[in-house]
Amino acid sequence: MLDATEATHAAQVTDTSDTAATTARSDRADDASAPTIASLAPRADFPILAREINGKPLAFLDSAASAQKPAAVLDAMNHFARTSYANIHRGAYTLSEEATRAYERARKNVAKFINARSARELIFTRNTTESINLVARTWAEANLRPGDALLLTEMEHHSNIVPWQLAAQRVGAEVFYTPVTDEGELDLAAYEALLERHTPKLVAVTQMSNVLGTLTPLPELIAKAHAVGALVLVDGAQGAPHLPVDVRALDCDFYAFSGHKMLGPSGIGALWGRAELLEAMPPFMGGGDMIREVTLAGATWNDLPWKFEAGTPAIVEAVGLGAAVDYLRQLGMERVHAHEQALTTYALERLRAIPGLTIYGPPAERRGGVISFTLGDIHAHDLATLLDREGVAVRAGHHCAQPLMERLQVAATARASFYVYTTSAEVDTLAEALERARAIFAL
């Protein structure tokens, strides 16, 4: 059944080698030196991109919050829901067996996408937030003692701060933070000093800042953490959608990510962890499917990964995430990253030419497709509303990273973020809309 969907999907991802070749092409009719960067994925694969907003073509520049879904993902979910849906791991009837196979096939597929050793190590969760909470509850409960240290960074999303603060409060541990430099990167000398001074039990760090786009030097961070005996959890919410990920090569211990940021549906995410660590951790939530046996006196636990999946999971959504991973694999994650870097280079150049615009974060070669900015003293929300009038969707606010905003000494920024369907024409639309906003506010 799913094979048919996968075949449809394969047909929908057209050969994009031509579009990739246009990445640095100079052929804009009005300006021979300006680059035209075409969409990496066929725009027609994404039905929502045909929408108009306020009478203008939609320029969707908020993929860091949640990406749009290709028809292949929507169709895979629809087809599964119409033909094979039932609860999983329970019924001995055909539909339930089909649904179980589809769910477990999706798990294998997602595990392979990040090069996990085995699908046993891939736990389906609701999202990155739940994945991190799972570790901060269960690993922390079994391993943290009063006086222990945890090391985070100032650029983390709240999802990679608050669960650790809660865990530390529960046991009387302490949380430390690697500072961020003025360029928006991690202060590596301070990181080493913090490791030496506090010998943390665990380091939790993002692969890419959702505010600044900063790519963190994970191999170096992980090697140094391991050298002092710390485990490393990587927040891959902004990594898995945009970069090739190989958890074995990275040598991290836990890796958390969300389906809805990588062309999949919301309500499904994953936690990858080393099997031996997951085996030793107590369960997260109690309920159906996570047990081997229950008596009135107590219970024993199911094998991995089901030990951590209590209750009926997001079955259709898991199938959708499997289709999203197929789609990304066909595009090629190296090319996804190259496309976003080309767009970011172009956008930084274009936006830097706008008087009064402040851009936060490092140069294009050390960031992914995320650009946060402010324009004069226009409030980020007002700016986002003005841009929306022009059909441009950007996020505004603190981006769930209040400590980082404090470090940048800014209350809120507007943020444009790019993905496989973004074009340089959309960056041009953003730049032109920002110029009009300047005129309205007489900047």
Residue 430 exposure: Cα atoms within 13 Å on the Cβ side = 34
Annotation says 400 is catalytic: yes
Q: How far is CA 263 from CA 2, 74, 188, 345, in A?
A: 18, 10, 33, 23
Cβ-based nearer residue to ligand C6P, 258 or 302: 258
Q: Which parts of 334-393 interact with ligand C6P (CB under 6 A)? A: none
Phi, psi of 325 (to 5 degrees): -65, -40
CB of 399 to ligand C6P, least distance (A): 5
Site string for ligand C6P, 240-279 (x = CB under 6 A): ------------------x---------------------
Residue located via tokens 């985070």: 152
CB of 155 to ligand C6P, least distance (A): 9
Report if residue 65 touches ligand C6P, rule: CB under 6 A. yes
Cα–Cα distance measured from residue 159 to residue 325, given in angstroms and rounded to the nearest whole number:
23
Report if residue 235 touches ligand C6P, rule: CB under 6 A. yes
Cα–Cα distance measured from residue 261 to residue 69, given in angstroms and rounded to the nearest whole number:
9
Strands 149-153 and 122-125: unpaired
Cα–Cα distance measured from residue 78 to residue 5, given in angstroms and rounded to the nearest whole number:
10
Report if residue 129 touches ligand C6P, rule: CB under 6 A. yes
Q: How many residues bind ligand C6P (CB under 6 A)?
A: 17
How many residues appear in the chain?
Answer: 443
Which part of the chain contacts ligand C6P (CB under 6 A), choosing from 109-117, 140-148, 155-163, 286-294?
155-163
Q: Which parts of 167-226 interact with ligand C6P (CB under 6 A)? A: 206, 210
CB of 63 to ligand C6P, least distance (A): 9
CB of 387 to ligand C6P, least distance (A): 16
Which part of the chain contacts ligand C6P (CB under 6 A), choosing from 126-134, 145-153, 189-197, 404-412?
126-134
Cβ-based nearer residue to ligand C6P, 23 or 128: 128
Site string for ligand C6P, 313-332 (x = CB under 6 A): --------------------
Report if residue 128 touches ligand C6P, rule: CB under 6 A. yes
Cα–Cα–Cα angle for 433, 439, 443, rounded to 5 degrees: 115
Cα–Cα distance measured from residue 79 to residue 8, given in angstroms and rounded to the nearest whole number:
11
CB of 69 to ligand C6P, least distance (A): 15
Residue 17 burial (CB count, 10 A): 9
* The one catalytic residue among 400, 414, 416, 433: 400
Report if residue 125 touches ligand C6P, rule: CB under 6 A. no
The amino acid that residue 39 corresponds to is S
CB of 148 to ligand C6P, least distance (A): 23
Cβ-based nearer residue to ligand C6P, 84 or 129: 129
Please pick, from the candidates 39, 159, 345, 423, the single residue that binds ligand C6P as defined by CB under 6 A.
159
CB of 237 to ligand C6P, least distance (A): 3
Please pick, from the candidates 23, 39, 216, 238, the single residue that binds ligand C6P as defined by CB under 6 A.
238
CB of 235 to ligand C6P, least distance (A): 5
Q: CB of 235 within 8 A of CB of 206? A: yes
What torsion do the CA atoms of 184, 185, 189, 195 make, to the nearest 10 degrees?
110
Q: CB of 348 within 8 A of CB of 391? A: no
Q: Residue 396: enclosing H or E segment and its boundaries?
A: strand 395-397
Report if residue 395 touches ligand C6P, rule: CB under 6 A. yes
DSSP string computed for 47-100: GGGG-EETTEE-EE-BTTT-----HHHHHHHHHHHHHT---SSS--SHHHHHHH
Cα–Cα distance measured from residue 75 to residue 66, given in angstroms and rounded to the nearest whole number:
19
Cβ-based nearer residue to ligand C6P, 2 or 204: 204
Report if residue 237 touches ligand C6P, rule: CB under 6 A. yes
Cβ-based nearer residue to ligand C6P, 38 or 237: 237
Which part of the chain contacts ligand C6P (CB under 6 A), choosing from 3-11, 114-122, 173-181, 235-243?
235-243
CB of 65 to ligand C6P, least distance (A): 3
Q: Residue 414: enclosing H or E segment and its boundaries?
A: strand 413-417
Q: Residue 348: enclosing H or E segment and its boundaries?
A: helix 333-352
DSSP letter at 175? E
The amino acid that residue 425 corresponds to is A
Cβ-based nearer residue to ligand C6P, 13 or 202: 202
Report if residue 157 touches ligand C6P, rule: CB under 6 A. yes
Residue 441 burial (CB count, 10 A): 15
Which residues are the active-site residues?
Answer: 400
Footprint on this chain of ligand C6P (rule: CB under 6 A): 64-65, 127-129, 157, 159-160, 206, 210, 235, 237-238, 258, 395, 399-400
